[in-house]
Amino acid sequence: MNRFVSCLLLIIVFSSCKHQQARYPVLQKTGSSYNESVARNKKLVAKEEKIIKELIAKDSTQKYLTSNTGFWYYYNNKIADSITTKTPVFGDIVTFNYSIKTLDDKSIYSEKELSTKQYAIDKEKLFSGLREGLKLMKEGETVTFLFPSYKAYGYYGDHKKIRSNTPIKTKVSLRKITPIETKSNSNKN
């Protein structure tokens, strides 16, 4: 019996000294789904940009500009450059109206449906194209933006009227810019 217990203890000691072996996952990812997603998105962006560029080529009535961040726009009403006009910066409160249409001018949301909005530049949620577009505008200007879907509501849409991967045309009127300095100075009084 003593010999049996000794052998059992010896077996336990030797088996516990065995090095742990790494466990490998049952399913190994190769990154192919990621690569497929990237390829699919590149095709989508190219297709949308082609549609927008064709639309611009057909419209000889407007002078389109290209943003540095991937959208196109033209001025419906442009304020002449002067020292007194400025564009909004981080934290400024802007008051604006806008409407959203498809690229072929079918209304998605009218200006009345969206009502007048106030937005603190880069401090609140707003789709990326509009957030960047507002920073290009001066008080009193109206601009029409053409946004590819990745600058608009992207893959998810807005879960209401704007479907997945929908490029949009947005007409924006910037009514007022309340600079951050003015707002902070009025709080001190």
Architecture of domain 41-188: Roll (3.10)
* Count of residues making up the chain: 189
Separation of alpha carbons 177 and 96, rounded Å: 9
Q: Which residues of the chain have pLDDT under 50?
A: 184-186, 188-189
pLDDT of residue 2: 73
Cβ-proximal residues to 119 (8 Å cutoff; 6+ apart), any chain: 93, 94, 96, 126, 134
pLDDT of residue 189: 45
pLDDT of residue 177: 95
pLDDT of residue 162: 96
Cβ-proximal residues to 43 (8 Å cutoff; 6+ apart), any chain: none
Instruction: Assign residue 129 a region (left: φ > 0; alpha: ψ between -120 and 50; beta: otherwise).
Output: alpha
pLDDT of residue 77: 94
The number of beta carbons lying within 10 Å of the beta carbon of residue 169 is: 22
Cβ-proximal residues to 172 (8 Å cutoff; 6+ apart), any chain: 96, 97, 98, 130, 133, 134, 137, 142, 143, 144, 145
pLDDT of residue 62: 96
Helix (H) or strand (E) holding 48, with range, is helix 32-58
pLDDT of residue 20: 62
* pLDDT tens-digit series, residues 15-33: 665 566 666 666 656 667 8
Separation of alpha carbons 122 and 90, rounded Å: 6
pLDDT of residue 156: 93
